[in-house]
Amino acid sequence: MDILKINQLKKVFSTGAEDLTILHDLNMNVEGGKSTVITGESGSGKSTLLNLIGGMDNLSSGEIYSCGFPIHTMTEKQLTEYRRKSIGLVFQSHYLLKDFSALENIAIPARIAGFDKKKALMKAEELIEKVGLADRKEHFPSQLSGGERQRIALARSLVNDPELILADEPTGNLDEKNSRIVEDILFSLVEEFGKSLLLVTHNLILAERVDKAYHLTGGVLEEK
């Protein structure tokens, strides 16, 4: 069964004088419990596509069904609920709260996701262990390495137990070794925990590791 299905998606940005079509009649699907990658050069439209799937931007035409929701017809309020309940987002930059500890950076979003104080802390403890950083709980982001910060960001994206994880170049700022650690965690979420993963990357090697690969060139998507 598809957790994500996109039909004839078009995205046009209007920039004053002209209309720029960034995504051209795009069709794709992500099967539940599988990993899917989208590769493509910088500027090919990868982030634009993920933002649309994440309900963070409006499409120009077409349909997006994600986690059972028709994203293209939903109100802002429904989209907020969808983001809160169904998806996990990981970005190239970690956006951690610099004045809070690693554990708090997970516990605070867990509170926002609806857990009471005690349960949020338990959830954060569980997730920090899952990303292998139980010994870094009290560290502040500035005291963590880039790879560790990204692992905390990954743990944070899991507080709502999302069905679908959308990861936009999550290893873009990391060296090879740390990229590998973050990738291993992402794939373990699929292999061990049955999550669905849509991973955007310009790392072509990763495409070998996934269940399904697409390539985006100038806003045109092709299955590989």
Check residue 43 for interaction with ligand ADP (CB under 6 A).
yes
Should residue 86 be labelled a site residue for Mg ion when binding is judged by CB under 5 A?
Answer: no
Binding residue (CB under 6 A) for ligand ADP from 3, 6, 39, 40: 40
Interacting residues of 173 by C-beta distance below 8 A, sequence separation 6+: 92, 93, 146, 150
Count of residues in contact with ligand ADP, rule CB under 6 A: 12
Between 42 and 73, CB nearer to ligand ADP = 42
Q: Give whichever of 46 and 139 is closer to Mg ion, judged by the CB atom.
A: 46
From residue 39 to residue 78, the character string flagging contacts with Mg ion as x (rule: CB under 5 A) and all else as - is -------xx-------------------------------
15 binds ligand ADP (CB under 6 A): yes
d(C-alpha 115, C-alpha 25), whole Å:
40
CB of 202 to ligand ADP, least distance (A): 8
Residue 40 site contact among ligand ADP, Mg ion, none (CB < 5 to 8 Å, cut-off depends on kind): ligand ADP
Partner whose binding site includes residue 166, from Mg ion, ligand ADP, none (CB under 5 to 8 Å by kind): none
How many whole angstroms separate alpha carbon 56 and alpha carbon 49?
Answer: 10
18 binds ligand ADP (CB under 6 A): no
**CA–CA separation, 141 vs 102, rounded Å?**
7
Give backbone dihedrals phi and psi of 153, rounded to 5 degrees, phi first.
-60, -35
Q: Which residue has the tokens 């899991």?
A: 158
Contact of 167 with 174, CB cutoff 8 Å? no
- The site partner of 35 among Mg ion, ligand ADP, none (C-beta below 5 to 8 Å per kind) is none
| Position 42 contacts ligand ADP (CB under 6 A) | yes
Query: Which residue number is nearest to Mg ion in terms of Cβ?
Result: 47
Backbone phi and psi for residue 144, each to the nearest 5 degrees, phi listed first: -110, 155
| DSSP result, 23-40 | EEEEEEEEETT-EEEEEE
Q: What is the DSSP letter of 99?
A: T
27 binds, among Mg ion, ligand ADP, none (CB under 5 to 8 A by kind): none
Helix axes 102-112, 146-156, angle to 10 degrees: 20
Instruction: Note the residues at the interface with ligand ADP (CB under 6 A).
Output: 13, 15, 20, 22, 40, 42-48
